[in-house]
């Protein structure tokens, strides 16, 4: 059996090694148009910033190591220019010599990945405008930074690459401005959860120009002007385009393969395309979202590697299946970690799913053990079935652990209530006896059993302030004086029982505290004394973080993300 693989990064390289492990006698040819294979896309910004010191550390394998260990014929700096399914051949061009040749195949695997989205804007080909996708891109940016020593940079795009590059440039002393057409960074997060990321970026000196549109670029001596739709141009020493990626599928289209959303390649669960003996994996393919069941593009290394393994199994006569991706991701943002899995509120609404949510600020480990930090945690679940839909967490230590537990719970089909039963490891330096994931389950259990009602930050301004309801802040007097919600009266939780006669049982009570714990306790108390009560989800911390962001506060570090 002769297998030709187009593309040698995550999906292609994984498939090649798996095929060899399954079939020692297969002829395997991997063709990669760049000069490198099996490289770590996710590590590229950290090489630019000098965190990763040596260029060799970016590549897991080389053409030579692939041959030595697996006897795989890896051809770099060669590009497949055409596929002929009827004859089962590909046309290949050697980029250095310009020569072309034809290669036959029994099985063909397409793993071309995605290319940086580069809009047709004036000046986009300037030598000071960069994209970051390949090792060559990284080396070019690294050389520029070392030689030109830029002082200012504009990053167009606020996704993973944009934020990672922003951090690395700032650490090198570069002043960074991020321009983003949507009014938030990190699309996997809801806007309220992204507020914590915005605050951290601004705290580190990054200027955020959200809700603005780039219209072009213009070189001006040793500077480049970024032209904006409704604002004055921004002058900088360099620009990085990081506005997203587009499936690189022109070969598939020209070969007559069926295409899906945004021109991606349609595959089935076996990673087979619409043409026999042609498989496809990675960022170029359309997948089924595990939570919604809808078609999606999810450009992440984890799914690409899994798909490569599954395609390899099936090429070798197996029957492996890819059951969809839920887009689990994690990102370092200076001193914060931002992570998500499943779907957010916007996606749930688009899918027509009736959902509810809880927001909490649990500690990373036992609060009495030194170094505990709170994390902002949001969990979505479907109202009727109580199945878990998604989660978002922003904080310090322990974020990655909790998002992985929740990602596993979603994949296992667990309900939100079953989070209460998870038996998770506990020791004071690592967690609490009631882990944050357990706490999310307890909160949902109380909501669904009717023990407590909640309202959210975006409903605060609409609360009745005409005397028809009681608005209570149950924090301490000191906390209240530092800042409070308009119209809320301060009665500390510990004093509440002595003030019950001052409240009218015929009026609803809306309660607020710092993070939602004391207001929950207050509602349980009030409910048992005959009051109708609801408490603020996420408390004053969450409300303040989101509304401060809406006011584009420049330097405040949001309450609730401080060390406990």
**Annotation says 523 is catalytic:** no
Distances (CA, A) of 342 to 379, 392, 409, 503: 10, 9, 11, 42
Q: Which residue has the tokens 């120009």?
A: 209
User: What letters, b where the CB count within 10 A reaches 16 and e where it falls short, cover 366-378?
Assistant: beebeebbbbbbb
DSSP element (H, E) containing 440 = helix 436-448
H-helix segments, 28-159 = 44-48, 63-70, 135-148
The answer to whether 7 touches 276, Cβ cutoff 8 Å, is no
Nearest to 379 by CA among 339, 333, 325: 339
> Which residues are paired to 223 by β-bridges?
220
Measured over the CA atoms of residue 367, residue 372, residue 377 and residue 379, the dihedral's sign is negative
| End-to-end alpha carbon distance in the chain | 61
Q: CA 225, 228, 234 angle in degrees (round to 5)?
A: 35
The answer to whether 7 touches 114, Cβ cutoff 8 Å, is no
89-94: strand order across its sheet: 78-84, 89-94, 100-104
* Helices 191-203 and 539-550, packing angle to 10 deg: 70
H-helix segments, 181-234 = 191-203
> Which residues are paired to 76 by β-bridges?
32
Alpha carbon of residue 536 to chain centroid: 27
Q: For residue 380, what are its two tokens?
A: 């979505």
Instruction: Assign 3-state DSSP to the chain and report helix, strand, coil percentages, each to 5.
Output: 30, 25, 40
Tell me the C-alpha distance between 365 and 400, whole Å: 13
Residue 439 contacts by C-beta under 8 Å, 6 or more apart in sequence? Answer: 360, 362
Of the CA atoms within 13 Å of residue 278, those in its CB half-sphere come to 27
The answer to whether 374 touches 560, Cβ cutoff 8 Å, is yes
Active site residues: 42
């Amino acid at each position: 059996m002769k297998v030709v693989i187009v593309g040698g990064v995550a999906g292609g390289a994984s498939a090649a090694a798996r095929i060899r492990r399954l079939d020692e006698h297969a002829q395997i040819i991997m063709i990669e148009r760049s000069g490198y294979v099996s490289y770590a896309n996710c590590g590229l910004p950290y090489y630019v910033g000098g965190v990763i010191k040596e260029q060799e550390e970016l590549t897991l394998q080389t053409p030579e190591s692939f041959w030595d260990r697996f006897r795989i014929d890896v051809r770099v700096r060669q590009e497949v220019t055409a596929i002929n399914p009827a004859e089962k051949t590909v046309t290949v061009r050697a980029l250095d010599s310009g020569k072309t040749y034809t290669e036959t195949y029994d099985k063909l695997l397409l793993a071309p990945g995605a290319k940086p989205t580069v809009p047709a804007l004036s000046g986009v080909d300037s030598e000071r405008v960069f994209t970051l996708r390949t090792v060559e891109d990284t080396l070019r940016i690294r050389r520029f930074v070392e030689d030109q020593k830029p002082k200012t940079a504009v990053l167009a795009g606020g996704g993973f690459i944009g934020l990672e590059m922003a951090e690395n440039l700032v650490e090198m002393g570069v002043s960074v401005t991020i321009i983003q057409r949507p009014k938030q960074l990190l699309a996997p997060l809801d806007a309220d959860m992204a507020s914590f990321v915005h605050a951290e970026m601004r705290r580190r000196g990054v200027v955020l120009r959200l809700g603005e549109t780039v219209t072009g670029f213009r070189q001006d001596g040793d500077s480049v002007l970024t032209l904006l739709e409704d604002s004055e141009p921004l002058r900088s020493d360099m620009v990085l385009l990081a506005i997203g990626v587009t499936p690189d599928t022109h070969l598939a289209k020209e070969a007559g393969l069926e295409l899906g959303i945004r021109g991606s390649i349609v595959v089935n669960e076996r990673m087979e395309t619409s043409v026999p003996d042609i498989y496809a994996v990675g960022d170029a393919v359309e997948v089924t979202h595990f939570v919604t069941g809808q078609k999606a593009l999810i450009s992440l290394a984890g799914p690409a590697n899994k798909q490569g393994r599954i395609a390899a199994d099936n090429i070798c006569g197996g029957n492996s299946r890819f059951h969809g991706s839920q887009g689990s991701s994690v990102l370092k943002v200076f001193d914060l970690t931002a992570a998500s899995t499943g779907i957010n509120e916007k996606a749930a609404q688009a899918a027509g799913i009736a959902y509810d949510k809880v927001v909490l600020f649990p500690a990373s480990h036992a609060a009495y053990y030194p170094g505990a930090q709170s994390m902002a945690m949001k969990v979505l679940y479907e109202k009727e079935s109580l199945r878990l839909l998604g989660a978002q967490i922003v904080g310090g230590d322990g974020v990655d652990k909790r998002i992985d537990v929740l990602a596993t719970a979603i994949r296992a089909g667990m309900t939100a209530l079953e989070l209460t039963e998870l038996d998770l490891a506990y020791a004071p330096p690592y967690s609490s006896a009631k882990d944050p994931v357990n706490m999310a389950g307890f909160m949902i259990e109380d909501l669904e059993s009717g023990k407590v009602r909640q309202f959210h930050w975006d409903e605060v301004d609409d609360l009745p302030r005409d005397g028809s309801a009681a608005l209570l802040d149950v924090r301490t007097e000191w906390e209240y004086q530092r800042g409070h919600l308009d119209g809320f009266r301060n009665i500390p939780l510990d004093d509440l029982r002595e003030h019950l006669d001052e409240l009218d049982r015929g009026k609803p009570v809306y309660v607020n505290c710092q993070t939602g714990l004391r207001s929950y306790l207050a509602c349980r108390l009030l409910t048992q004394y005959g009051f109708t009560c609801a408490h603020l989800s996420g408390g004053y911390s969450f409300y303040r973080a989101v509304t401060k962001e809406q006011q584009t506060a420049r330097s405040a570090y949001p309450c609730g993300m401080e060390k406990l």
